[in-house]
Chains A and B, each alone.
Chain A
Amino acid sequence: MSVGLVLANAVLVDPAGGIRTGSLSVAKDRIAAKAPDGAETIDAKGAHLAPGIVDLGVFSVDKAACIAGGITRVALMPDLSPPLDDPGLVQRSALAAKPDLWVHPLAAATRRLEGRELAEYALMVRAGARAVATGRNQIADSGVMLRVLAYAASQGLTVIAHAEDEGLVRNAVATAGETASRLGLASGPARAEAMAIARDLALVEETGAAIHFRQVTTARGLALIRVAKAQGLRVTCGITPAHLLLSDIAVTDFRTFARLSPPLRSEDDRQACLEAVADGTIDVLCSAHDPRGPEAKRLPFADAEPGMAGAETLLALGLGLVRDGLIDLPRLMAMLSANPARIIGVEGGSLGEGAAADLMLFDPDAPWIIDGSRFAGQAGNTPFDMLPTQGRVLKTIKGGRPLG
């Protein structure tokens, strides 16, 4: 561990609000008023400095992708093989990327993620789990979901839920609509999302639990979240850049890199998502990072696995929302770090004194072309391949230590 660090000539972006030019001092692994003697100085040359990204809900511990993407903490989805439903597996995952990346495993809500029996939340928390997650799918049985929420609430744990009604989307690979009909793809109605949210919100009211919908992607789903928040329910939600920037037209030509879960939606729903980012209904911007090699993607559309490699493009695509005037820079940083950190109950998202020195230095304007074949991470399955964008991570710093 380095004794300290001074990041000079930086534009400091604090998720709590405020942008200022100056320097930031680090003592050991904490942000400090003053760096100790002998601290290394990095001249940021006017680059931006913000808390490292806390990526809520990734499907693989992809250290290289995270370092390239400014991500210092990931909440790891339990959908591994075998699923994270056991304290031993959780403990091993939590240590998987030390010392370069914090991995916060999400405990499987049910054994083997089968949606039937409760898993050992308390023991998994002792092993390093931070919240409970239903996994890639909804828990179809409402009785089981009621008990998941009640039990998690009693342990003070947030439940990270997938919002698609299981019966409506079983076998579906696309959102019902013109594109799916033209391509002859099995599809489920977009309303499957609102149905799942409506049910879970009713159960949240019943139990007083805290719930986070990892991805909410439809106008109807977001409307329900808005109302629930106004009622004071403990509900938050997130979204990926893909659902903000692409509609289901992107799967035309059977582009398997655009096969996502939940699937891409209609243009109307996409517009509603942008509004919900602007008005604060959406709390979290996440990558849903799910690197998949050609063996899972170079297949007919319906046979391919869903998911995208999102870690390395999350910041740049998020900065696009700022450039478009939808949100300001501190709010983007809150969506990328402070909010997700608060939801899963970990440090992060602060530039305050004493906060963990998990940081990213970035140039918000640097132009580049997204090219999956040149990703640092495990795979290049991005639906944004060959898209020109702006904003690049220059340096990821974890625990006061510059990486890469």
Chain B
Amino acid sequence: MTSPSNFPHRHLLGIAGLQPHEISYLLDEAEHWVAVNRRAAKHDGRLAGLTQINAFFENSTRTLLSFEIAGKRLGADVVNMHAAQSSVKKGETLIDTAITLNAMRSDVIVIRHGSSGAVALIADKVDCPVLNAGDGRHEHPTQALLDALTIRRHKGSIAGLTVAICGDVLHSRVARSNILALTALAAEVRVVGPATLIPDAIEAMGAARFTDMDEGISGADVVMMLRLQNERMDGAFVPSPREYHALYGLTYERLKRAKPDALVMHPGPMNRGVEIASNVADDVNRSVIAEQVEMGVAVRMACLDVLTRGRRGIAA
């Protein structure tokens, strides 16, 4: 067995380090699961007997649910570990937690943690594949994959599209993974937001910087909104929710600057009336927010399948 692997990585820790064809391969694999998920009988037993641990050190509802559904549809025994009910609160170090999870002989571990780099730290200490479900401000690779899949299904291809990522880029792992994935797939990426919420040297990651929303989304094929955390709206980074909405909220009026068929995306959960107006979010002709959630399950099934192939004795 010397055929080159389509995905020669043990873990999925980020989009950084993936080749464009590897990203495309995961998207292609996910297409199959989109079709399966739309059937009445969605079950596929290929992960039967394998144990999937979702270790979430940071609160999450939708991502955890998405990974749980993905694992169960593939037949894995899925166990969720919430930080709130774990020994992490008792002062156990992350490394000790990793060793504990490893000793339980899990076959794949999905991790979310509030600190950048924490997932890679755990991945170093365990014998099974690790899937990053978000680490601090660093990466959230499955979110970028589901966003790319959503865009590709609507636009046919990602190459050459103009994507405006708008809002709190500084604190956003979604933004970082999306910049990496979309630039790898040859899109033109812009980041749009107040100067206080755009990281230094973002140009070095291949994104153009805009602090004027109208200018930033002008002619865009995709307008991707980011969530603005409540604690950042109280004067620390932006003066107030209403000022933020006035300058950076996505309204119909503002959306006219983008292409007439521009997609509106949001990773959720949304702050309606702050970063996005309700009528825009709910417009089935423009907003693909619900579809992003659907693609999320498919992408996560693809990642779980691909990463566990080695353990199942299947060439990737």
Q: Which residues of A contact B199 (CB under 8 A)?
A: 180-181
Given contacts A183-B117, A300-B116, contact A177 B137 (CB under 8 A): no
Q: Does A254 lie at the interface of the complex (its beta carbon under 8 Å from any beta carbon of B)? A: yes
Q: Which residues of A contact B120 (CB under 8 A)?
A: 253-254
Please give the distance in Å from B207's CB to the nearest CB on chain A. 10
On B, residues with C-beta under 8 Å from A are 16, 93-95, 113, 115-118, 120-121, 135-139, 173, 176, 199-202, 204-205
Partner of A300, one of B16, B117, B173, B202: B117
Q: Does A184 lie at the interface of the complex (its beta carbon under 8 Å from any beta carbon of B)? A: yes
Please give the distance in Å from B232's CB to the nearest CB on chain A. 13
Contact count A vs B, C-beta below 8 Å:
67
Q: Does A374 lie at the interface of the complex (its beta carbon under 8 Å from any beta carbon of B)? A: no
Instruction: Provide the bound-state CA to CA distance between A300 and B138, in Å.
Output: 12
Q: Which residues of B contact A301 (CB under 8 A)?
A: 115-117
Q: Does A8 lie at the interface of the complex (its beta carbon under 8 Å from any beta carbon of B)? A: no
Q: Which residues of A contact B113 (CB under 8 A)?
A: 300
Contact at A298–B16, with CB atoms within 8 Å? no
Given contacts A184-B139, A184-B176, contact A178 B204 (CB under 8 A): yes
Chain A 168-199 residues near chain B, CB threshold 8 A: 176-178, 180-187, 189
Chain A CB within 10 Å — which of B16, B93, B120, B200 has the most? Answer: B200
Chain A 104-127 residues near chain B, CB threshold 8 A: none
Q: Which residues of B contact A185 (CB under 8 A)?
A: 116, 137
Instruction: Provide the bound-state CA to CA distance between A10 and B306, in Å.
Output: 65
Instruction: Provide the bound-state CA to CA distance between A133 and B19, in Å.
Output: 50
On A, residues with C-beta under 8 Å from B are 176-178, 180-187, 189, 253-254, 294-295, 298-303
Apart from the given pairs A182-B16, A301-B116, 14 other A-B contacts in the complex at a CB distance below 8 Å? A178-B205, A181-B200, A182-B176, A183-B117, A184-B135, A184-B139, A186-B137, A253-B120, A254-B117, A254-B121, A299-B94, A300-B113, A300-B121, A302-B115
Chain A CB within 10 Å — which of B116, B120, B138, B173 has the most? Answer: B116
Partner of A181, one of B16, B173, B202: B202
User: Across chains A and B, which 3 residue pairs bring their CB atoms closest together, nearest first?
Assistant: A254-B117, A184-B137, A300-B115
Please give the distance in Å from B132's CB to the nearest CB on chain A. 12
Q: Which residues of A contact B115 (CB under 8 A)?
A: 300-303
Q: Which residues of A contact B176 (CB under 8 A)?
A: 182, 184
A-B contacts, 9 of them at CB < 8 A, read A178-B205, A182-B176, A184-B136, A184-B173, A187-B200, A298-B93, A299-B95, A299-B121, A300-B136
Contact at A302–B200, with CB atoms within 8 Å? no
Contact at A184–B93, with CB atoms within 8 Å? no
Please give the distance in Å from B41's CB to the nearest CB on chain A. 40
Instruction: Provide the bound-state CA to CA distance between A254 and B116, in Å.
Output: 8
Q: Which residues of B contact A177 (CB under 8 A)?
A: 200-201
Q: Which residues of A contact B118 (CB under 8 A)?
A: 300
Closest residue to B202 on the A side, CB-wise? A181
Instruction: Provide the bound-state CA to CA distance between A170 and B46, in Å.
Output: 49
Closest residue to B125 on the A side, CB-wise? A298
Instruction: Provide the bound-state CA to CA distance between A186 and B204, in Å.
Output: 17
Q: Which residues of B contact A176 (CB under 8 A)?
A: 200-201
Contact at A180–B200, with CB atoms within 8 Å? yes
